[in-house]
Amino acid sequence: MFFDLDDETELLRRTVREFAEGEIAPVAEELDYEKRFPYEIVAQMGELGWMGIPFPEEHGGAGGNALQYAIAVEELTRVDSSVAITLCAHTSLGVQPIYLYGTDDQREHLMPDLCAGRKLGAFGLTEPEAGSDAGNVRTRATLEGGEWVINGAKQFITNSGTDISGHVAITARTGEKEISNIIIENGTAGYEQGAPYRKMGWNASDTRPLTFTDCRVPEENLLGPRGAGFKQFLHILDIGRIGVAAMGVGLAQGALDQALAYAKERQAFGQSISKFQSIQAKLADMATEIEAARLLTYKAAWEKDLGRNFTLTAAQAKLKTGRLAVRCAEEAVQIHGGYGFIEEYPVARFYRDAKILTIGEGTDEIQQMVIARALGA
């Protein structure tokens, strides 16, 4: 087995890290406090080719792979989760369905702007009665005169309401026992984005509810075969878990970075607190667990790049890294003491941002169910 990354991937890691530290870190606290979407940063990432890393150049992408994408997400999350989830949800949920299941016309129409960051993509699965029970979709689409007439609602949808949002691909019942995915572009009559949620974390990202009232789109906006929606979105969720797992690794690493730097500076009883055994134990455990989680996440991306079944590994990585992110953020706050409770220190933001990683893209309980099924339980 070889654990060294190739030169191209290492260069990407260094470039994203430098960008995150130089361009995002100085404004992350302000963006979070003001709940302001990072348009300029997204535009810069688009120009750098990062909004389409794992997609072929012929469709406007960067021609990279899943591992490179995961590493980019990890490096962004080390500094700020809001920027990272914007890229993550756009790539995994916004662009992947178009690339995997779209027609040539749909790819040609949508992907160049998506991969360049001129438009953001979104995926609408979750509903008030269809969260972990993803098959319990209530939104309906009826075919009338060559158009889908859509009625229903979605919630917790990322990237759907910004000034550069381009489309949302939604799940809808197209028959009594039939779920399909349908593309709805922003500006379509009957499609309304609700007000942004007031969230505990990810404050600079866009998350809101969507409603569809007699919303009409052309029949050709169907994404893939009619009735294939359930199978499609399960695969999309598998891919998305690689990205969210990378976020967990990145947040945990960022929390460790902040905790170590603070522990070396903070003086108590005549020495830096990093010299105390209790603090060293926390730092050592964090570093060890992060490395294990990183390898598991990279393995999931590696399996995807090889065309292997990665459902089990992606679920394991997502479960492991979400819990680790929460624990590392908590330990980082503890090491900071009272200062960890003050918002001007990044660990306070990390603490708020971490919890959703055990919920979004499938809760911990869903991951456990996926893992157990894969084990044959």
Backbone angles phi, psi at 269, to 5 degrees: 55, 35
Instruction: Please report, to the nearest 10 degrees, the dihedral formed by the alpha carbons of residues 82, 85, 90, 96 taken in order.
Output: 170
Is the Cβ–Cβ distance between 210 and 139 less than 8 Å?
A: no
311 three-state secondary structure: helix
Catalytically active residues, by annotation: 361
Q: Identify the burial level of 287 via C-beta atoms within 10 angstroms of its C-beta, where 0-12 means exposed, 13-18 middle and 19 or more buried.
A: middle
91 three-state secondary structure: helix
| pLDDT value of residue 58 | 97
**Confidence band for 99, pLDDT divided at 50, 70 and 90:** very high
Amino acid at 181: N
Is the Cβ–Cβ distance between 347 and 340 less than 8 Å?
A: yes
| pLDDT value of residue 131 | 82
Strand partners of residue 182: 170, 222
> How far is it, in rounded angstroms, from Cα 24 to Cα 22?
6
> Tens digits of per-residue pLDDT, 246-287?
999 999 999 999 999 999 999 999 999 999 999 999 999 999
**Confidence band for 106, pLDDT divided at 50, 70 and 90:** very high
| pLDDT value of residue 130 | 84
Is the Cβ–Cβ distance between 247 and 294 less than 8 Å?
A: no
**Confidence band for 308, pLDDT divided at 50, 70 and 90:** very high
| pLDDT value of residue 2 | 76
pTM attached to this predicted model: 0.97
Is the pLDDT at 63 greater than 90, yes or no? yes
Is the Cβ–Cβ distance between 230 and 182 less than 8 Å?
A: no
> How far is it, in rounded angstroms, from Cα 198 to Cα 208?
9
> How far is it, in rounded angstroms, from Cα 76 to Cα 72?
6
DSSP per-residue string spanning 30-62: HHHHHT---HHHHHHHHHTTGGGTTS-GGGTS-
Query: How many other CB atoms are there within 10 angstroms of residue 147's CB atom?
Result: 16
Is the Cβ–Cβ distance between 195 and 237 less than 8 Å?
A: no
Backbone angles phi, psi at 274, to 5 degrees: -65, -15
| pLDDT value of residue 38 | 98
Strand partners of residue 124: 170
All domains of the chain, ordered by start, with CATH? 7-120 (1.10.540.10), 121-227 (2.40.110.10), 230-374 (1.20.140.10)
**Confidence band for 294, pLDDT divided at 50, 70 and 90:** very high
Pairing state of beta strands 222-223 and 178-185?
antiparallel
Q: What angle do CA 311, 317, 322 make, to 5 degrees?
A: 130
Tell me which DSSP letter residue 275 carries: G
Is the Cβ–Cβ distance between 272 and 266 less than 8 Å?
A: yes
**Confidence band for 132, pLDDT divided at 50, 70 and 90:** confident
| pLDDT value of residue 62 | 97
> Tens digits of per-residue pLDDT, 9-59?
999 999 999 999 999 999 999 999 999 999 999 999 999 999 999 999 999
Helices 346-354 and 311-336, packing angle to 10 deg? 140
| pLDDT value of residue 133 | 85
| Of 233, 228, 212, residue with least CA distance to 93 | 233
When pLDDT is averaged across residues 88-115 and rounded to a whole number, the result is: 98
Strand segments (E) across the chain = 120-124, 140-144, 147-158, 165-175, 178-185, 191-193, 207-218, 222-223, 267-268, 271-272
Instruction: Please report, to the nearest 10 degrees, the dihedral formed by the alpha carbons of residues 70, 75, 76, 77 taken in order.
Output: 90
Percent pLDDT > 70 in the chain is: 100
Q: What is the mean pLDDT of the chain?
A: 97
Alpha-carbon 148 to chain mean position: 29
When pLDDT is averaged across residues 130-139 and rounded to a whole number, the result is: 88
Q: What angle do CA 235, 161, 24 make, to 5 degrees?
A: 85
When pLDDT is averaged across residues 321-333 and rounded to a whole number, the result is: 98
> How far is it, in rounded angstroms, from Cα 255 to Cα 283?
10
Is the pLDDT at 61 greater than 90, yes or no? yes
Is the pLDDT at 377 greater than 90, yes or no? no
> Tens digits of per-residue pLDDT, 196-220?
999 999 999 999 999 999 999 999 9
**Confidence band for 156, pLDDT divided at 50, 70 and 90:** very high
